[in-house]
Chain A
Amino acid sequence: MNGAHDLGGKQGFGAINPEPELEEPLFHADWERRVFAMTLATGMLGQWNIDESRHARERQHPVDYLRHSYYENWLQGVETLLQEKGLLDIDEAGLQRLTVPNASGAEKNLFSGGPTLMPDVKAPLFGPGDSVRVTRRREPGHTRMPAYVQGAVGRIEAHYGSHVFPDANARGERRGEHLYSVSFSGEQLWGPGAEVARVLVDLWEPYLEVPG
């Protein structure tokens, strides 16, 4: 879905106003710190994956998504997932089936991460130098295909192998699709006189087609 989170190229948001690097605190309120930690800790229960988590934030009403601060969107997302997965009503038997990480288990998890590289199950359709067009799609679910590249023609710069495909992963289906780094000229995306020479976007094979 191309909700309010799909921000690339949107106009009207004004200046960035960055805080000076050395003066910016990591969290701006204690509740942000707690939301961050609760989101990671409940994620470690293994009841949802990162794409479900992103989708839970993205499928708020667009006005809410834009009005909320960053960690308010995280809070909204984790509340939605806890509710939908039934964890807030969990009973003793249900809890027994979960592994609740302790501090050292969590630490191990943070420092090992979760790679998304998958075994190839088919040959890649494209290779470096190939010209590709991004498909146009309007599906209700999660996707990592930004609206601003849809319909644009780009060039494959690199093939990253098969990686977990977010559109399916957000529905709980973990499978790999070939992932490419695709470059687009500024002119292709924004017209003549663009400020940017090239924009490089990571795109999975199902998002791409041979230009007609």
Chain B
Amino acid sequence: MSHDHDHDHTEPPGDLALRVKALESLLVEKGLVNPDTLNTIIETYEHRVGPRNGAEVVARAWTDDGFKQALLADGAATVAQLGFTGRQGEHLTVVENTPDVHNLVVCTLCSCYPWTLLGLPPVWYKSAPYRARAVSEPRSVLAEFGTRLPDDTEIRVWDSTSEMRYLVLPMRPAGTEGWAVEDLQRLVTRNAMIGVEQAATADQQSTGHDA
């Protein structure tokens, strides 16, 4: 829950690590868990599934209007064509930012997040302050990410209470006409696809979501 990492735990971290190790040993010994399976699960989310998937989807939507329309009409089926399928992405709605409307995604009840496109959520997304405040004071939340919107921009907040997952389609930055998908996707930050930031501008060195 906590947003920082030096907060008090009732149990010192050492005890927690031991408790986890004991559980893992027990599960393996009982035959309930296969050690190779654990490694595959970790490897999948550390190396194969992450925000570069979402960045590719956004960059394609910026460059191909047919793809964008399909994406907005049926998110899950459209990203499946790029091979992005699986857990926490079975049902997907993509919401588009415009000069008039800015979208922001939260899960007030737990941590629902489009894993297939963004990987596992960051600590702040799962933290009590974000979950509490995103639905009630999103302008203040956005300001903490350095994002300031015009007063007349309508803010829409999507609370992910079902298995429908939400991805924000950020606005394409100015000055990127003619850019290739591979270059555009470097401007698409994870935070922009959650809605706490805009996409990086053409002259900002961005985000490391290399293809």
Contacts and interface: CB of A to CB of B under 8 A. Distances in A.
Interface string A91-130: 0000100101111111101111111110000000000000
B208 A22 contact: yes
Instruction: Give the size range of B's interface with the partner.
Output: 35 or more
B204 to A, nearest CB: 12
B201 interface: no
Instruction: Give the size range of A's interface with the partner.
Output: 35 or more
B87 A110 contact: yes
A198 B157 contact: yes
B63 interface: no
A106 B106 CA distance: 28
B132 A111 contact: no
A125 B192 CA distance: 36
Contacts of A21: 122, 189-191, 207
Contacts of B123: 18-19, 24, 28, 70
Interface in B44-90: 44-46, 49, 85-90
For chain B, what secondary structure do more than half of its interface residues adopt (helix, strand, loop), or is it mixed?
mixed
A125 to B, nearest CB: 17
B85 A37 contact: no
Interface string A1-27: 000011111110111111101101010
Interface of A: 5-11, 13-19, 21-22, 24, 26, 28-31, 33-38, 40-42, 44-45, 50, 54, 57-58, 65-70, 72-73, 75, 78-79, 82, 87-88, 90, 95, 98, 100-107, 109-117, 144-146, 148, 160, 163-164, 166, 179, 181, 183, 189-190, 194-204
Interface of B: 1-5, 7, 9-10, 13, 16-17, 19-21, 23-24, 26-27, 30-34, 36-42, 44-46, 49, 85-91, 93, 106, 108-111, 116, 119-120, 122-124, 126-133, 135-141, 144-145, 154-164, 189-191, 196, 207-208
